Amino acid sequence: MPTPAPIPYDHLPEVPALTVEASGLTDGATLPDRHVFNDWGFSGENVSPRLTWSGAPEGTQSYAVTCFDPDAPTGSGFWHWLVFDIPASVTELPEGAGNGPDFAGLPAGAVHTRNDYGLKEYGGAAPPPGLPHRYLFAVHALDTDKLGVDPDANPAVVGFNITAHTLARGFIAPVYES
């Protein structure tokens, strides 16, 4: 049986682990300014990182990519990026795929939904002063080719549906503090 993916918060079901890599990102290391928000008093470049993944189980029909801050002082975390309906044949998103008016780095059919900034794109780290926040860049192998969620749905609704269809998950968790 595959090793369960580590769960950074205990409310998600255990699933097999995907291998996820991101250029310049390491678990526990500081998120580079390239991936930090450029607003709310931050002057990062707000560019989504390059992600690659492997090890999807049989039955994977699509992927979702998310970035979530479980440490945000909201009581429900903060969604920075949600993309779904990524074809099962895709195992990489290039740097910047989550940005720009045409999202040229996203494969055909992929759907961006709004994040907690209210934007349908990647929104980088922008934590309040205090302790470091974890930014969970996750790839979810899904058992459906179309998630069937409206792109204008609340990020929590999208996250709920992603979790309901997840066969495997992997992530990288850099940190950032202001």
SS3 68: strand
82 in Cβ contact with 158 (< 8 Å): yes
pLDDT for 39 equals 87
pLDDT for 4 equals 41
Q: Tens place of pLDDT for every residue, the chain, 178 residues? A: 344 444 455 567 889 999 999 989 999 999 999 999 998 888 889 999 999 999 999 999 999 999 999 989 898 899 999 999 999 999 999 999 999 777 778 999 999 999 999 999 999 999 999 888 999 999 999 999 999 999 999 999 999 999 999 999 999 999 999 8
- Cα 115 to Cα 119: distance, rounded to the nearest angstrom: 6
pLDDT for 5 equals 43
Domains of the chain: 19-176 (3.90.280.10)
User: Which is it for the CA torsion 138, 83, 35, 44, positive or negative?
Assistant: negative
Q: Which long-range contacts (CB under 8 A, 24 or more apart) does 89-92 make?
A: 90/63, 91/52, 91/53, 91/54, 92/50, 92/51, 92/52, 92/53
Query: In Å, what is the CA distance from 38 to each residue of 121, 122, 137?
Result: 13, 11, 19
- Cα 38 to Cα 44: distance, rounded to the nearest angstrom: 5
- Cα 149 to Cα 157: distance, rounded to the nearest angstrom: 8
